[in-house]
Amino acid sequence: MLLLFDIDGTLLVRAADAHRRALHAGIEEVHGVQAPDDDIPTAGRTDLAIMRSLLLLCGVDARAIDDGVEATVSAACTAYARLCPPDLSQTVAPGVPEALAGLVAAGHTPALVTGNLEPIARLKLRRAGLGEWFASGPGGFGSDHEDRSELPALARRRAGDGRPVPREAAVVIGDTPLDVACAQADGVRCVGITTGPHPAADLAGADVVIDAMADLAGVLAAWHA
């Protein structure tokens, strides 16, 4: 089974401060405006969508945003490399390393479907001590598309051997309604997890909702049976 994990709120908790500051730094460097600290929802959204919303709030027009996307992404990733703490191991959600080890031993393939820009996602996981579980190729990232609903299909294509991993052989694991929505958009199953800001009721569209990563292996085994 191809397991498409979200990062923030799912694999890691309270690891977003440097990430937020890096997006703001990228916006300021390229567009010369200081983005507000709040006023927009961020949970489950892609970094491209978050930066667009912040820039629109600052009065930057849509064409300038589009023209500056590559430069803003590059500046944000460079800023994150500077701002990211050297050790994020304390942000790993309970039971995640043990769960990943067990899932791989059982023959599953972990990959990422995350709103993070890919360089930010990779560095964040390396510094949290989880980078070894996620191969450099497969995955869908916030730098691939502004719309998160496009990412599961992209991840399945990248993980396939010449053709996409079948929908029935993939599952999204995430902590927000947008994780659930992106799974539904691609027609793959979804496991919601309540380790992030959303209670189980908010994740009701998922096929299953769990409270801890340790519960995931049992869900997958039941589906297999």
- Residue 39, pLDDT above cutoff 80: no
The residue-averaged pLDDT of 211-223 equals 95
CATH 3.40.50.1000, applies to 2-13+89-224: yes
| Dihedral sign (CA 154, 156, 160, 164) | negative
Q: Is 140 in contact with 151 (CB distance < 8 Å)?
A: yes
Write down the pTM of the prediction.
Answer: 0.94
Least confident of 31-40, 45-54, 175-184, 216-225: 31-40
pLDDT in tens, 170-195: 999 999 999 999 999 999 999 999 99
How many angstroms separate the Cα of 121 from the Cα of each of 98, 144, 149, 177, 179?
Answer: 20, 12, 18, 20, 16
CA-atom Rg of the chain in angstroms: 17
Q: Which pLDDT score, from 0 to 100, does residue 13 have? A: 95
**Extents of the domains making up the chain:** 2-13+89-224, 17-83
- Residue 225, pLDDT above cutoff 80: no
